[in-house]
Amino acid sequence: MQVGICRVELRLPENQSLKGKRQVVKSIVDRVRHRFNVSIAEVDDQDLWQRITLGISCVSNQGQHANEILSHVVNFIEAIRGDAELLDYEIEVTPAF
């Protein structure tokens, strides 16, 4: 069993409030959960209204498959949110046991 973990950092240059940020985060999280079989949540920078850090994870029987899923999620996030700038992402796949 392989566990894939991804950290995605986004910037919202036009955002002016935490309320606006929450709407963007909720939209991203809901759309990713609906499209992919992954766990996703905001994991850092909750007090910064122009920055989003998301944690995404998946479990697979092959490490390559977990890496592909997480890469597709990152590409999907970048495509659906034109107002959010992808700053950085990191994918790590590790054996569970």
pTM score, two decimals? Answer: 0.86
Q: Give the pLDDT band of residue 4 (cuts 50, 70, 90).
A: very high
Count of structural domains, the chain: 1
- 39: CB partners within 8 A, 6+ apart: 56, 57, 58
> Residue 62 to residues 1, 4, 72, 96: CA-CA distances in angstroms?
7, 10, 16, 11
| CATH code of the domain in which 89 resides | 3.30.70.1120
pLDDT band for 81, please (50, 70, 90 cuts): confident
Tens digits of per-residue pLDDT, 28-75? 999 999 999 899 999 988 788 889 999 999 999 998 999 999 999 999
Q: Are 6 and 55 in contact (CB under 8 A)?
A: yes
Range of the domain at 37: 2-95
More confidently predicted of 53 and 82: 53
